[in-house]
Structure 1
Amino acid sequence: MRFCKKKLALATAVVLQQWAVMPALAQQSPQSAPQLLAQSRPLDDITVISARGVDADLNRVAATVSVITSEEIEQQNAKDIKDALRYEPGVEVRRSVYRVGGVTGASATMGRGGNEGISIRGLDGNRVMLLEDGVALPRSFSQGTMFAGRGAYTDTDLYQRIEILRGPASSMYGSDGLTGVVNFVTKDPQDLLNVFGKSSYFAVRPSYDSSDNSYGATGTMAFGNDVVQGMLVLNARHGNETETKGSVGGAGTARTKADPLTYDNRSALGKLVFKIDPRNVLKLSFETVENKLRADSLSAVALPNITGYQSTSDVNSNKLQLIFEHDNADNPYLQKLRANLYYRDAKTHQYSFESGLAPTRPRFRDITYQDDIVGGGVLAESSFNTGYVKHKLTYGIDASMATMQMSASGTAWNTCTGTQYCEYFPKTEYSVIGSYVQDDMRIGALSIIPGLRYDAYKLEPKASAKYDKQAIANGQPATTKTDSALSPRLAFMYEVTPAFIPYVQYARGFRSPSPQEVNSYFNNAAQGYSQVANPNLKSETSNSYEVGFRGKLPSALGLFNYSAAAYYGKYRNFIDVVVVYPGSLTAADPRINQYINAAKATIQGLEGRLDWRMENGLTVKTGFAYTKGKSTNQAGKEAGLESVAPLSVVAGVRYEPNQVWFLQSDVIYNAAKKKDDIPTATNFVSPSFFVMDLSSGYRFSKNAVLYAGIRNLFDRKYWSWTDIRGLSLADNATNKDAYTEPGRSFNISAKFEY
């Protein structure tokens, strides 16, 4: 207990030391249970207001949608998006173990991306659209020693909720919506002022997690009246390597303990809200996120040649956004209007230093990837009737221009000619303009929902001395690429009763190629291989079909909410880098790699959810996701789709007899990954596992609450397939324990709010 108190004290001090803005909290005496103003869990359906074309009532949505609230994030002590999505079956966050080695090749990137991205229905990376307040997060990028993941630009302490839409969403959102959308919605001043119904709000929330020995604190303040409101959220966290179940220390590849590292994360969110009148609101927000990591890769040591390997990763993101909201339910033509302008700059800088014997060592690599974007959009909703048909028309336009660039330097990389490649692709402007329309037509109990979006995009490389010097000399000048895409959607839903609402839908998705994929070039003559551009790349596309049903059933036993869906998707023109000419690995006859439309795939699966809330304070939740997928390459060879996770089942029981305390138990089961479902049958596959977690909370007064939890209660050793896939880890590898998930760990947080 003394240890926990010390960590909580340190966590509280973090935000004070790093930001130096937290006001002192006034002391208040505890109150009796009937007087508590606890934030009880909502019993009604959570509404989704920021997702386009999604009805406020989730039972009226012809898709699988789920919402994770800030209260759930706090009660689970989720320190990042991997923790926050832990109990969402079929939605996986990939985070490889930070175990790097070498300054080139795939082993160098292992774990570099942190929370790399989110997988939905078997696809991940840039094939899932990730948004923050409707603004797309930067695309992931990987090459050589560089891996820029997408999860590093997020911070769960800034979010009011996380919205997850499964299935293709390009008809409303455009590129990257091949298989789903995740929208991170930041907190708003009104949300905080509503807690106590006062004109001000202050809170501090220290926390500790033993899985990576991390501690941090979040400070929040809000003020306002009927005209002007403001908010500031500050968060800081310091931690170390995430523990594994490995027990072998020392240096070298046989090491199974986690390599030592430290990280420091800081973020800030500020908002000003001006209520012009009851129908018009103007919001100005600024957000900054900074993640720093320092690692000593003992597992990369290979005496006598390699005596040490150190690496750093610095991620920075800043976003400025202006939003105008108009709501007028009495207007017969236009009831809702949303307009926004935004600017975001994001940069990932990674450095590697390898010490050892001359002449090849010491050597270093210093690489930076930057993705800046400016854009805006207008969304409108109009509800009207034509005879017996009720229409809800959602329509709008989006436009953005992103500037993507990277630079690299390192040992022997000083002239950027011949064997050096100081830019993997030239600085590129990626501009997109899209327009969309969707009509939710209701005829009695029947809903017919057609939708269509048109996108035009352009990749325009800019003059680059470094890139041009090497590429033009080798006959590979950068090219401009222009293309467009149509993304239709059609859904039908019929409300037999509120307890049974079946639906069926078809949707098309697409992902446009990135600047790296179109204009990637480098030449390593010393080792006899090169990579060339491909201006003829086509967009990846998907055609997805889904049938499902959902319902809400009040009964004497409590309230039942349930949903189930079956889906089938056909994906074409998957983009991948492949060997297009084997060569002899010499300067005169090099092997040639190129990004091409290498494969097609099919993915099908089942998913379901059940939420049973009883009057006696008992709640039961369960869900499952089962997906199968296979890919077919250009030669017609079929293989299991490695990115598809095995069967996942999640179940939870919560007892909350009053607004003072709760106790919750969650179990996670993942089936074993099958050899038939991976391209290389001799590689290691994750066995099945069963994990139990406990969490609890106790509210001492309306101003103070404590949350605590235990993850992996029975201290099981297990591997997450999403994290280890692509390792090429052999079945007989002796260091497999290095890639295991943490054993038993505990977490604790306290929140003081006034």
Structure 2
Amino acid sequence: MFLSKKKLALAMAVVLQQWAMTPALAQQNTSLQLAAANRPLDEVSVNSTRGIGGDINRVAATVSVITAEEIEQQNAKDIKDALRYEPGVEVRRSSYRVGGVTGASATMGRGGNEGISIRGLDGNRVMLLEDGVALPRAFSQGTLSAGRGAYTDTDLYQRIEILRGPASSMYGSDGLTGVVNFVTKDPQDLLNVFGKSSYFALRPSYDSSDSSYGATGTMAFGNESVQGMLVLNARHGNETETKGDNDSRSANRTKADPLTYNNRSALGKLVFKIDPRNAIKLSVETVENRLRGDSLSAVTSVISGYQSTSNVDSNKLQAIFEHDDADNRVAQKLRANLYYRDSRTQQYSSESGTTVGATVRPRYRDITYKDDIFGGGVLAESSFKTGAMQHKLTYGIDASVATLQMSASGTGWTTCTGTQYCEYFPKTEYSVFGAYLQDDMRIGALSVIPGLRYDGYKIKPEASAKYDAQAVNGQPAATSKDSALSPRLAFIYEVSPAFAPYVQYARGFRSPSPHEVNSYFNNASQGYSQIANPNLKAETSNSYELGFRGKLATSVGNLSYSGAAYYGRYRNFINLVAVSGAGTVANPTINQYINAAKATIRGVEGRLDWRLENGLTLKSGFAYTKGTTTNQNGLETGLESVAPLSVVAGARYEPNQVWFVQSDVIYNTAKKREDIPTSTNFVSPSFFVFDLSTGYRFSKNAVLYAGIRNLFDRKYWSWTDMRGLSIADSATNKDAYTEPGRSFNLSMKFEY
């Protein structure tokens, strides 16, 4: 970290002492204090393990934390930038290359930062939280693709916590393969910067990869009783560049299609400290993303133009009560949380050109997806002893009710007679109740951590004349409910601070989404339709992990490291498959979401961080995952969502609090053809990318950060971004899906 609060306070103290010292004595004292400032900071505590401020070194899993300082130093404009140097954690963002009102390319890139992949799985199989509140579920149908990353804004976050591996024992559904918790900024964090009763900051920034510019304004005020904060952020940009140079208006185009976007967000917080033990936090947040694209790559002999827009809105209200009392015999810590969030994604497509047969042009599609949720929970911690055993009990309940719905209109869609999906699934109430208990039992160096969670969920559709009119086969929407137990058992043995091995077993699950249980679409005139499945089961996983971590003090600096090997078996994967039919008008193909597949995922990962006393820091990390999936016919193939081996290495030189320079290298191996369903499709080759960044502090009130990504202007493809696109190996437009070439970013922060 370039300048932490601890380092800033230390630097100010150094300056004051220099005024009162002789030059020689001042120089000697400064050197000693600067050396101390460059030592590793205090251990990071995390909330993503569901403990309240848990020690990251006492977790039987791989956990990493990205701080607000690191986000600023990287000039990360979104979560894809923020997670760039996290091996094994990928953010999927397809090139915005939509084309045609119908067809597979209709949704390409519409989801933006669609979601986060951990250990080869993504989408709704990874739990994404913001201050403990689940982000809306991903949804895609027709021309609409609602990505989960569109509801986030990195400028609002104090840190991002990443927990790899199943987390259903504490969080419930969607914690099948990992958790990412976005923790928003807090007034106290800002007031601590200068130790004053007020704080103000302005941070303008620029990124050449999409010619975007923006600014973040932050203010905070407070005293011992009341604190407040307001963060405002806005950003305007264009299409993300590719390495392509074909500027034609056709499918052969390899330059990015033109687009513009405008993102705005705001976060306000009030904190009332009732007494030293109790506090109430109230927050309001809004995120708004607007995008408009012109798909020149969709132009054909009959399509003369294709324009699209995407509007994403999210609003959240949250109240948190915090109680901390170390002298309480029953519960030393308690958190009560109440929240409401409404979210909406609306996407519009307009296609102009020549009418051909039954395809009338111009035509349009206008689709909206809503996901509103009201919920809350109580979390408590109790520490006590039974004989020689120390217990740390974490327990609580969660409950929420979400309302999900979608609507669509379009050319020729006026009566919803069954040949449209104007209500692909009916308005649905999705309720969840969960209760959990975990006991961290310590006897000397040994920790035994059993945990168990119970979840019950219910998917209850509302009566809908539109949906029933579509379901011409007489299949009305059905209520679906079930429950799940998610156990966990872990062991940690701290041989010494330098070596602490652990082993754990965890079970995860994901309940089906409303549109997977109840969905209907009938296009028998084209030879296909889709039906509901009220008998869907939840996806489940059984995972095993063996790992270690340690901290070692050397004569030249401190070394920390971790490693893990994992194996998971996943059952009842929910896939949309053809269950019958021949694809003809007389015998149309019937598609249905079913528990069609199972998967096996195994891999290894490791991290190393060596902070030397001379201001040099070396870091490295890698992640290798291998996955296979077996469909309902017993055919085993490679799991396409698994990314190739990823290695990240970096070096940072920070001799004092004034400046730093840092270099990072990212290496990915090639994706293997045997790991994709169609071996003749294009697979991403291996690549090296070299990044360079620096920072310079002009004074305690002004700092400059600058960086160059892909310094050597390499042409490369990210498998996570391009997978599933079915690009033939012989395709001439492959360069349209490349990552940006050399780009630079710049920001200046003024704070008082």
Q: In structure 1, what is the Cα distance between the partners aligned to 2:63 and 2:750? A: 32
Matching residue of 2:405: 405
Matching residue of 2:8: none
Unpaired runs of 5+ residues, structure 2, are: 1-10, 19-32
Q: In structure 2, what is the Cα distance between the partners aligned to 1:546 and 1:133? A: 27
Q: Which amino acid aligns with 2:495?
A: V
Matching residue of 1:651: 649
Q: In structure 2, what is the Cα distance between the partners aligned to 1:624 and 1:259? A: 34
Q: Which amino acid aligns with 1:434?
A: G
Deviation at 1:581, TM superposition (A): 1.1
Matching residue of 2:536: 537
Deviation at 1:152, TM superposition (A): 0.2
Matching residue of 1:569: 568
Matching residue of 2:309: 312
Deviation at 1:722, TM superposition (A): 0.1
Contact 2:40–2:611 (Cα < 8 Å) also in 1: no
2:381 aligns to what SS in structure 1? strand
Matching residue of 2:579: 580
Matching residue of 2:717: 719
Q: In structure 1, what is the Cα distance between the partners aligned to 2:103 and 2:443? A: 58
1:515-537 Cα distance to aligned partner (Å, 9 max, x none): 00000101013312100000111
1:252 aligns to what SS in structure 2? coil
Matching residue of 1:259: 257
Deviation at 1:117, TM superposition (A): 0.1
Q: In structure 1, what is the Cα distance between the partners aligned to 2:622 and 2:240? A: 27
Indicate the RMSD between aligned Cα atoms, in angstroms: 1.5
Deviation at 1:66, TM superposition (A): 0.2
Matching residue of 2:111: 113
1:111-138 Cα distance to aligned partner (Å, 9 max, x none): 0100000000000000000000000000
1:693 aligns to what SS in structure 2? strand
1:47-81 Cα distance to aligned partner (Å, 9 max, x none): 11464037632111100000000000000000000
Q: In structure 1, what is the Cα distance between the partners aligned to 2:386 and 2:620? A: 41
Matching residue of 2:329: 332
Q: In structure 2, what is the Cα distance between the partners aligned to 1:31 and 1:308? A: 60
Say whether 1:386 aligns with 2:386.
yes
Q: 2:141 aligns with which of 121, 127, 143?
A: 143
Q: In structure 2, what is the Cα distance between the partners aligned to 1:750 and 1:743? A: 24
- Identity across aligned pairs (percent)? 81
Matching residue of 1:275: 273
Contact 2:552–2:559 (Cα < 8 Å) also in 1: yes
Q: Which amino acid aligns with 1:386?
A: T
Matching residue of 1:631: 629
Deviation at 1:42, TM superposition (A): 5.7
2:158 aligns to what SS in structure 1? strand
After the TM superposition, which residues 672-687 of structure 1 pair with which residues of structure 2 at under 5 Å, given as runs? 672-687=670-685
Contact 1:189–1:229 (Cα < 8 Å) also in 2: yes
Query: What number of residue pairs does the alignment pair up?
Result: 722
Contact 2:400–2:433 (Cα < 8 Å) also in 1: yes
Q: In structure 2, what is the Cα distance between the partners aligned to 1:263 and 1:373? A: 27
1:227-283 Cα distance to aligned partner (Å, 9 max, x none): 000000000000000000000002010000000000000000000000000000000
Matching residue of 1:355: 352
1:547 aligns to what SS in structure 2? strand
Matching residue of 1:507: 506
2:54 aligns to what SS in structure 1? coil
1:450 aligns to what SS in structure 2? strand
Say whether 1:558 aligns with 2:557.
yes
Matching residue of 1:547: 546
1:273-310 Cα distance to aligned partner (Å, 9 max, x none): 0000000000000000000000000000002x100000
Q: In structure 2, what is the Cα distance between the partners aligned to 1:381 and 1:43? A: 26
Q: In structure 2, what is the Cα distance between the partners aligned to 1:42 and 1:191? A: 20
Matching residue of 2:7: none
Q: In structure 2, what is the Cα distance between the partners aligned to 1:31 and 1:324? A: 35
Contact 1:412–1:420 (Cα < 8 Å) also in 2: no
Q: In structure 2, what is the Cα distance between the partners aligned to 1:302 and 1:109? A: 18
Q: In structure 2, what is the Cα distance between the partners aligned to 1:451 and 1:397? A: 14
Q: Which amino acid aligns with 1:490?
A: L
Q: 1:80 aligns with which of 68, 78, 81?
A: 78
Moved more, 462-471 or 243-252: 462-471
Matching residue of 1:16: none
Matching residue of 1:18: none
Matching residue of 2:3: none
Contact 1:54–1:61 (Cα < 8 Å) also in 2: no
Q: In structure 1, what is the Cα distance between the partners aligned to 2:581 and 2:524? A: 14
1:139-162 Cα distance to aligned partner (Å, 9 max, x none): 000111110000000000000000
Deviation at 1:33, TM superposition (A): 8.6
Q: In structure 1, what is the Cα distance between the partners aligned to 2:321 and 2:51? A: 18
> Is the alpha carbon distance of 1:607 and 1:475 closer, same or farther for their aligned partners in structure 2, counting shifts above 3 Å?
same
1:687-728 Cα distance to aligned partner (Å, 9 max, x none): 000000000000000000000000000000000000000000
Contact 1:55–1:61 (Cα < 8 Å) also in 2: no
Q: In structure 2, what is the Cα distance between the partners aligned to 1:55 and 1:120? A: 23
Unpaired runs of 5+ residues, structure 1, are: 1-29
> Is the alpha carbon distance of 1:283 and 1:641 closer, same or farther for their aligned partners in structure 2, counting shifts above 3 Å?
same
> Is the alpha carbon distance of 1:465 and 1:196 closer, same or farther for their aligned partners in structure 2, counting shifts above 3 Å?
same
Deviation at 1:32, TM superposition (A): 12
Q: In structure 1, what is the Cα distance between the partners aligned to 2:326 and 2:43? A: 22
Q: 2:708 aligns with which of 707, 710, 716?
A: 710
Deviation at 1:31, TM superposition (A): 9.7
1:171 aligns to what SS in structure 2? helix
Matching residue of 1:290: 288
Contact 2:39–2:558 (Cα < 8 Å) also in 1: no
Q: 1:341 aligns with which of 338, 341, 349?
A: 338
For normalisation by structure 1, the TM-score amounts to 0.94
